[in-house]
């Protein structure tokens, strides 16, 4: 299991040498640029590595990994900062946010640098009627999201983001820049798609796009007092939903602040999210039972261009100090609804901002053309809990929700919904762990990549 990195470092490290070997910016805690380079999206996570390199080129990444090996350091990549773990970010962080290449090919694929967020690809693909399998918010970086599986708002139709990867360019832990495809380094191609940053630092990725200029969907909001009725309707309705539809629901407690509609602020609400990738009229007919479930506070479900995909999950753009917890569920019967609402429903003092249940299945369960290091294909639902970290009791309350849902908890965690190094190991079955370990021995024999230490 993961061991703390600091034991590897012996004496002062000459980071000025790394600066001389690279074009990018190298900063240590005493430098003015340091805080801006290491700040994560989740402000509750302390990120204080011994140094950070903002790479300008893939050669910078090569030099950083080789420098780390020479000085007994472990390296962690960071692109947009949406998924940091403080225990892994202690020595050398390589941020790839400046690797910002975006090329969309009209025949249906794209090449993007490791620092690119989904929004740029969504906008570049739209003129051709194309769309990527982006995340629930397009402000998320492509590489971290994709290498962790990539569960997006069209997942039941098209699968996970890893199912659309054509090639990955990566600097592996042995300091070599490699191109991994189904035929070039296939063991590395397998491990990178689901193994996140265990094998190396991705510098570029090539992905297939789908023809999806429009979709029917958005979010439909109800008063929290109607949560039990709406969720029960959602359960029965989603059981019969074809793969053209992807859906989830979320209990929200949104503050009164700019950007939050007044009818949703300062109260418990329930949002049903919906994306229908087929004919809009059929999508509207399919959604009618949810519209009729209870009085509606706000209806934002309509025929939209894919560039409006962020309207489905309505995730926050601005950095927040969040505490997150998650699980995967084998089912979601009426008893699960009751258990969830007993801790996060109407009349209950819950400190959570969001409690979300996503339906899985469809193309997610079938997988893509090529196997990947993703062991959660058979999961029925995912559960995500997000609260503000400084609110007293938020962690204990999240733990209580997870405990209440334990009768329906089972399967392997989603890699992108793991928040501690220990949770990573719970994301993979024994066969996948064995394949990941073989790849680590082959491509990172000295254990330079910090995340790879999770399976050491």
Q: Are residues 271 and 203 in the same domain?
A: no
Domain that holds residue 161: 102-211
H-helix or E-strand spanning residue 36: helix 34-38
pLDDT at position 34 is 86
**Residue 418 — very low, low, confident or very high, per pLDDT cuts 50/70/90?**
confident
Q: Are residues 139 and 239 in the same domain?
A: no
Largest CA distance in the chain: 67
Residue 1 pLDDT greater than 50, yes or no:
no
Residue 85 pLDDT greater than 60, yes or no:
no
- Tell me the pLDDT tens digit for each residue of 258-289: 888 999 989 999 999 999 999 999 999 999 99
pLDDT at position 2 is 34
H-helix or E-strand spanning residue 105: strand 102-105
Residue 3 pLDDT greater than 50, yes or no:
no
Would you put residue 425 in left (φ > 0), alpha (ψ -120 to 50) or beta?
A: alpha
Lowest model confidence (mean pLDDT) among 77-86, 189-198, 328-337 = 77-86
Let me know if residue 289 belongs to a domain: yes
Residue-averaged pLDDT of the chain: 91
Residue 372 pLDDT greater than 60, yes or no:
yes
Let me know if residue 298 belongs to a domain: yes
Q: Are residues 203 and 344 in the same domain?
A: no
- Using CA atoms, how far residue 271 sits from 12, 95, 244, in Å, is 52, 35, 20
Residue ending a domain, choose from 95, 117, 135? 95
**Residue 330 — very low, low, confident or very high, per pLDDT cuts 50/70/90?**
very high
Q: Are residues 362 and 398 in the same domain?
A: yes
Let me know if residue 440 belongs to a domain: no
Q: Are residues 255 and 123 in the same domain?
A: no
**Residue 257 — very low, low, confident or very high, per pLDDT cuts 50/70/90?**
confident
Q: Are residues 353 and 294 in the same domain?
A: yes
Q: At what angle do helices 334-344 and 227-239 cross, to 10 degrees?
A: 150
- Tell me the pLDDT tens digit for each residue of 176-208: 999 999 999 999 999 999 998 889 999 999 999
pLDDT at position 43 is 55
Taking the mean position of all CA atoms in its chain, how far away is CA 359? 16
**Residue 58 — very low, low, confident or very high, per pLDDT cuts 50/70/90?**
very high
pLDDT at position 315 is 85
Angle (CA) 273 238 268, round 5°: 45
pLDDT at position 277 is 98
Report the share of the chain in percent with pLDDT over 90: 79
Tally of domains within the chain: 3
pLDDT at position 450 is 83
- Tell me the pLDDT tens digit for each residue of 154-173: 999 999 999 999 999 999 99
Q: Are residues 221 and 191 in the same domain?
A: no
Q: Which CATH number belongs to the domain containing residue 355 in this structure?
A: 3.40.462.20
Taking residues 374-389, report their average pLDDT.
94
Lowest model confidence (mean pLDDT) among 245-259, 278-292, 413-427 = 413-427
- Using CA atoms, how far residue 430 sits from 19, 82, 117, 377, 455, in Å, is 41, 28, 32, 15, 11
Q: Are residues 178 and 218 in the same domain?
A: no
Q: Are residues 297 and 407 in the same domain?
A: yes
Let me know if residue 261 belongs to a domain: yes
């Amino acid at each position: 299991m993961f061991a703390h990195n600091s034991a590897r470092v012996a004496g002062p490290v000459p980071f000025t040498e790394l600066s001389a070997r690279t074009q990018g910016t190298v900063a240590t805690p005493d430098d003015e640029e340091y805080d801006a380079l290491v700040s994560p999206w989740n402000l509750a996570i302390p990120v204080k590595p011994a140094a950070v390199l903002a790479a300008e080129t893939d050669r910078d990444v090569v030099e950083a990994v080789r420098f780390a090996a020479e000085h007994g350091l472990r390296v962690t990549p960071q692109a947009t900062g949406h998924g940091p773990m403080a225990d892994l970010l202690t020595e050398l962080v390589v941020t790839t946010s400046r690797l910002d290449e975006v090329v969309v090919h009209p025949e249906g694929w794209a090449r993007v640098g490791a620092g690119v967020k989904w929004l740029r690809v969504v906008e570049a693909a739209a003129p051709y009627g194309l769309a990527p399998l982006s995340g629930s918010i397009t402000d998320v970086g492509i590489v971290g999201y994709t290498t962790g599986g990539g569960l997006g708002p069209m997942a039941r139709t098209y699968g996970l983001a890893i199912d659309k990867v054509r090639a990955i360019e990566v600097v592996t832990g042995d300091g070599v820049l490699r191109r991994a495809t189904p035929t070039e380094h296939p063991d590395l191609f397998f491990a990178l798609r689901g193994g996140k940053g265990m094998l190396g630092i991705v510098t570029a990725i090539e992905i297939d796009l789908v023809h999806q200029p429009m979709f029917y969907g958005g979010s439909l909001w109800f008063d929290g007092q109607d949560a039990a009725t709406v969720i029960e309707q959602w359960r029965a309705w989603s059981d019969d939903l074809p793969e053209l539809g992807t859906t989830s629901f979320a209990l929200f407690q949104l503050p009164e602040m700019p950007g939050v509609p007044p009818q949703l602020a300062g109260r418990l609400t329930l949002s049903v999210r919906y994306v229908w990738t087929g004919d809009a009229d059929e999508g509207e007919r399919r959604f009618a039972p949810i519209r009729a479930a209870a009085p509606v506070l706000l209806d934002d479900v309509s025929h939209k261009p894919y560039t409006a995909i962020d309207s489905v999950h309505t995730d926050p753009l601005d950095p927040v100090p969040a505490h997150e917890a998650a699980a995967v569920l084998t089912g979601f019967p009426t008893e699960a609804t009751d258990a969830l609402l007993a801790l996060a429903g109407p009349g209950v003092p819950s400190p959570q901002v969001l409690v979300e249940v996503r339906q899985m299945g469809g193309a997610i369960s079938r997988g893509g053309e090529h196997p990947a290091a993703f062991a959660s294909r058979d999961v029925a639902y995912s559960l995500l809990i997000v609260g503000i970290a400084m609110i007293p009791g938020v962690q204990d309350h999240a733990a209580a929700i997870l405990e209440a849902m334990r009768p329906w908890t089972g399967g392997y965690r989603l890699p992108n919904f793991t928040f501690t190094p220990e949770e990573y190991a719970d994301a993979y079955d024994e066969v996948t762990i064995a394949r990941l370990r073989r790849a680590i021995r082959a491509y990172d024999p000295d254990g330079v990549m910090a995340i790879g230490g999770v399976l050491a």
